[in-house]
Amino acid sequence: MTITLIGTVSSLIVWVLQTIGLPGLFALMAVESFGLPPIPSEVILPFTGFLVVDGALSFWPATAVALAGGLVGAFAGYAVGRWWRHRITDIGLGHLRLEARHLERVDRYFARHGEALVGLARLVPVIRSYISYPAGTARMDPGRFGVYTLLGSVPFTVALIWAGTILRSNWRLLSSYFAYLDYPLIALIVLVVVFLALQIVGVLEPGWPPRRALRNRSS
Protein backbone atom coordinates (compact mmCIF):
# COMPACT_ATOMS: atom_id res chain seq x y z
CA MET A 1 0.00 0.00 0.00
CA THR A 2 1.37 3.42 -0.97
CA ILE A 3 1.54 6.01 1.80
CA THR A 4 1.04 9.61 0.70
CA LEU A 5 1.20 12.90 2.56
CA ILE A 6 -2.30 13.96 1.59
CA GLY A 7 -3.61 10.43 1.99
CA THR A 8 -2.31 10.24 5.57
CA VAL A 9 -3.81 13.61 6.51
CA SER A 10 -7.07 12.65 4.83
CA SER A 11 -7.27 9.41 6.80
CA LEU A 12 -6.90 11.38 10.03
CA ILE A 13 -9.62 13.83 8.96
CA VAL A 14 -11.97 10.98 8.04
CA TRP A 15 -11.37 9.30 11.41
CA VAL A 16 -12.09 12.52 13.35
CA LEU A 17 -15.31 13.20 11.44
CA GLN A 18 -16.57 9.64 11.73
CA THR A 19 -15.67 9.33 15.42
CA ILE A 20 -16.50 12.76 16.86
CA GLY A 21 -19.02 14.17 14.38
CA LEU A 22 -19.98 17.85 14.58
CA PRO A 23 -17.55 18.75 17.40
CA GLY A 24 -14.79 17.16 15.33
CA LEU A 25 -15.89 19.15 12.28
CA PHE A 26 -15.80 22.35 14.33
CA ALA A 27 -12.30 21.59 15.60
CA LEU A 28 -10.96 20.63 12.17
CA MET A 29 -12.30 23.80 10.53
CA ALA A 30 -10.94 25.96 13.35
CA VAL A 31 -7.47 24.47 12.89
CA GLU A 32 -7.78 24.70 9.08
CA SER A 33 -8.71 28.36 9.24
CA PHE A 34 -5.90 29.10 11.71
CA GLY A 35 -3.50 27.45 9.28
CA LEU A 36 -1.20 25.75 11.79
CA PRO A 37 -0.77 22.90 11.13
CA PRO A 38 -2.04 23.05 7.52
CA ILE A 39 -5.16 20.89 7.18
CA PRO A 40 -6.99 20.89 3.81
CA SER A 41 -10.62 22.01 3.90
CA GLU A 42 -10.80 20.40 0.45
CA VAL A 43 -10.87 17.06 2.29
CA ILE A 44 -12.77 18.10 5.44
CA LEU A 45 -15.79 19.56 3.67
CA PRO A 46 -16.36 16.98 0.91
CA PHE A 47 -16.13 14.15 3.42
CA THR A 48 -18.64 16.04 5.55
CA GLY A 49 -20.88 15.81 2.49
CA PHE A 50 -20.29 12.05 2.40
CA LEU A 51 -21.52 11.79 6.00
CA VAL A 52 -24.57 13.85 5.07
CA VAL A 53 -25.45 11.29 2.40
CA ASP A 54 -24.90 8.47 4.90
CA GLY A 55 -27.30 10.14 7.33
CA ALA A 56 -24.68 10.69 10.02
CA LEU A 57 -24.93 14.49 9.65
CA SER A 58 -27.50 16.97 8.36
CA PHE A 59 -26.51 19.40 5.60
CA TRP A 60 -27.35 22.78 7.12
CA PRO A 61 -26.30 22.05 10.72
CA ALA A 62 -22.99 20.70 9.39
CA THR A 63 -22.58 23.81 7.22
CA ALA A 64 -23.27 26.10 10.17
CA VAL A 65 -20.78 24.24 12.38
CA ALA A 66 -18.12 24.33 9.65
CA LEU A 67 -18.60 28.09 9.23
CA ALA A 68 -18.49 28.65 12.98
CA GLY A 69 -15.27 26.67 13.32
CA GLY A 70 -13.71 28.51 10.41
CA LEU A 71 -14.68 31.87 11.91
CA VAL A 72 -13.14 30.99 15.29
CA GLY A 73 -9.90 29.90 13.61
CA ALA A 74 -9.86 33.04 11.47
CA PHE A 75 -10.20 35.30 14.52
CA ALA A 76 -7.45 33.35 16.27
CA GLY A 77 -5.11 34.09 13.36
CA TYR A 78 -6.32 37.71 13.31
CA ALA A 79 -5.54 38.04 17.02
CA VAL A 80 -2.03 36.67 16.56
CA GLY A 81 -1.35 39.16 13.76
CA ARG A 82 -2.75 42.08 15.75
CA TRP A 83 -1.16 41.33 19.12
CA TRP A 84 2.24 40.49 17.66
CA ARG A 85 2.37 43.48 15.32
CA HIS A 86 5.11 45.31 17.20
CA ARG A 87 6.89 42.18 18.35
CA ILE A 88 7.65 40.91 14.87
CA THR A 89 9.53 43.99 13.72
CA ASP A 90 13.29 43.47 13.49
CA ILE A 91 12.85 39.77 14.30
CA GLY A 92 14.09 37.42 11.64
CA LEU A 93 16.87 35.37 10.15
CA GLY A 94 19.60 36.97 8.07
CA HIS A 95 18.06 39.65 5.87
CA LEU A 96 14.55 38.28 6.41
CA ARG A 97 13.30 40.88 8.87
CA LEU A 98 10.00 42.69 9.00
CA GLU A 99 10.51 46.39 9.54
CA ALA A 100 8.14 49.22 10.34
CA ARG A 101 8.08 50.24 6.66
CA HIS A 102 6.85 46.78 5.68
CA LEU A 103 3.99 47.02 8.17
CA GLU A 104 3.12 50.47 6.87
CA ARG A 105 2.88 49.00 3.36
CA VAL A 106 0.49 46.32 4.65
CA ASP A 107 -1.56 48.99 6.44
CA ARG A 108 -1.96 51.06 3.28
CA TYR A 109 -2.95 48.06 1.19
CA PHE A 110 -5.56 46.83 3.66
CA ALA A 111 -6.92 50.36 4.11
CA ARG A 112 -7.71 50.42 0.37
CA HIS A 113 -8.54 46.79 -0.39
CA GLY A 114 -8.89 44.97 2.93
CA GLU A 115 -12.54 43.93 2.69
CA ALA A 116 -12.29 42.61 -0.87
CA LEU A 117 -8.97 40.92 -0.14
CA VAL A 118 -10.31 39.05 2.89
CA GLY A 119 -13.54 38.05 1.15
CA LEU A 120 -11.87 36.81 -2.04
CA ALA A 121 -9.02 35.08 -0.19
CA ARG A 122 -11.57 32.86 1.59
CA LEU A 123 -12.40 31.37 -1.81
CA VAL A 124 -8.80 30.39 -2.57
CA PRO A 125 -7.32 27.16 -1.16
CA VAL A 126 -4.25 27.57 1.09
CA ILE A 127 -4.39 31.40 0.97
CA ARG A 128 -7.74 31.33 2.77
CA SER A 129 -6.04 29.91 5.86
CA TYR A 130 -3.41 32.64 6.16
CA ILE A 131 -5.09 35.91 5.16
CA SER A 132 -6.14 36.45 8.80
CA TYR A 133 -2.57 37.17 9.91
CA PRO A 134 -1.89 40.22 7.72
CA ALA A 135 -5.46 41.41 8.33
CA GLY A 136 -4.75 41.43 12.06
CA THR A 137 -1.33 42.99 11.56
CA ALA A 138 -2.97 45.78 9.54
CA ARG A 139 -5.48 46.24 12.40
CA MET A 140 -8.46 45.78 10.09
CA ASP A 141 -11.74 46.51 11.87
CA PRO A 142 -12.67 43.19 13.54
CA GLY A 143 -16.37 43.54 12.72
CA ARG A 144 -15.68 44.00 9.03
CA PHE A 145 -13.11 41.24 9.14
CA GLY A 146 -15.71 38.83 10.51
CA VAL A 147 -18.39 39.87 8.02
CA TYR A 148 -16.15 39.53 4.95
CA THR A 149 -14.69 36.29 6.27
CA LEU A 150 -18.21 34.85 6.39
CA LEU A 151 -19.14 36.29 3.00
CA GLY A 152 -16.20 34.54 1.41
CA SER A 153 -16.50 31.34 3.44
CA VAL A 154 -20.21 30.65 2.84
CA PRO A 155 -20.02 29.83 -0.91
CA PHE A 156 -16.75 27.94 -0.45
CA THR A 157 -18.13 25.82 2.39
CA VAL A 158 -21.54 25.16 0.86
CA ALA A 159 -20.03 24.25 -2.51
CA LEU A 160 -17.54 21.73 -1.10
CA ILE A 161 -20.04 20.03 1.21
CA TRP A 162 -22.54 19.83 -1.64
CA ALA A 163 -19.81 18.43 -3.92
CA GLY A 164 -19.18 15.76 -1.30
CA THR A 165 -22.82 14.68 -1.45
CA ILE A 166 -22.48 14.27 -5.22
CA LEU A 167 -19.15 12.43 -5.13
CA ARG A 168 -19.98 10.07 -2.24
CA SER A 169 -19.86 6.90 -4.34
CA ASN A 170 -16.46 7.82 -5.81
CA TRP A 171 -14.50 8.26 -2.56
CA ARG A 172 -12.24 5.26 -3.17
CA LEU A 173 -11.51 6.46 -6.70
CA LEU A 174 -10.73 9.98 -5.47
CA SER A 175 -8.51 8.74 -2.66
CA SER A 176 -6.44 6.78 -5.19
CA TYR A 177 -5.36 10.09 -6.74
CA PHE A 178 -3.89 11.44 -3.49
CA ALA A 179 -0.44 10.16 -4.50
CA TYR A 180 -0.52 12.45 -7.53
CA LEU A 181 -1.53 15.42 -5.38
CA ASP A 182 1.64 14.99 -3.35
CA TYR A 183 3.70 16.32 -6.29
CA PRO A 184 2.17 19.84 -6.44
CA LEU A 185 2.22 19.92 -2.62
CA ILE A 186 5.93 19.13 -2.52
CA ALA A 187 6.55 21.64 -5.33
CA LEU A 188 4.72 24.32 -3.34
CA ILE A 189 6.81 23.56 -0.25
CA VAL A 190 10.01 23.81 -2.31
CA LEU A 191 8.93 27.16 -3.79
CA VAL A 192 8.14 28.56 -0.35
CA VAL A 193 11.51 27.42 0.99
CA VAL A 194 13.35 28.98 -1.97
CA PHE A 195 11.33 32.20 -1.62
CA LEU A 196 12.20 32.48 2.07
CA ALA A 197 15.83 31.60 1.41
CA LEU A 198 16.14 34.42 -1.14
CA GLN A 199 14.80 36.81 1.47
CA ILE A 200 17.17 35.50 4.14
CA VAL A 201 20.25 36.03 1.95
CA GLY A 202 19.03 39.48 0.93
CA VAL A 203 18.19 38.91 -2.75
CA LEU A 204 14.50 39.74 -2.18
CA GLU A 205 12.78 42.14 0.18
CA PRO A 206 10.70 40.55 2.96
CA GLY A 207 6.99 40.31 2.16
CA TRP A 208 4.77 39.88 -0.88
CA PRO A 209 4.77 40.47 -3.82
CA PRO A 210 8.44 39.65 -4.45
CA ARG A 211 10.68 42.71 -4.69
CA ARG A 212 14.39 42.78 -5.36
CA ALA A 213 16.27 44.04 -2.32
CA LEU A 214 17.84 47.47 -2.59
CA ARG A 215 21.62 47.30 -3.03
CA ASN A 216 22.29 49.92 -0.40
CA ARG A 217 20.52 47.81 2.23
CA SER A 218 22.71 44.76 1.83
CA SER A 219 24.81 44.35 4.96
Dump pLDDT digits (tens) for 139-158: 999 999 999 999 999 999 99
- Round to whole Å and give the CA distance between 105 and 118: 17
- Round to whole Å and give the CA distance between 214 and 216: 6
Encoded amino acid at 50, one letter: F
DSSP 77-124: HHHHHHHTTTTSBT-EETTEEB-HHHHHHHHHHHHHHHHHHHHHHTTS
- Round to whole Å and give the CA distance between 143 and 74: 12
Q: What is the average pLDDT value for the chain, to the nearest integer?
A: 84
Give the H or E element holding residue 200: helix 178-200
Assess contact for 106 and 206: CB atoms under 8 A. Answer: no
- Round to whole Å and give the CA distance between 68 and 87: 29
Assess contact for 16 and 48: CB atoms under 8 A. Answer: no
- Quick one: pLDDT at residue 31? 95
Please tell me whether the overall predicted TM-score, pTM, comes out greater than 0.75 for this model: yes
Instruction: Please determine, for residue 43, whether its predicted confidence score (pLDDT) is greater than 50.
Output: yes
Dump pLDDT digits (tens) for 23-36: 999 999 999 999 88
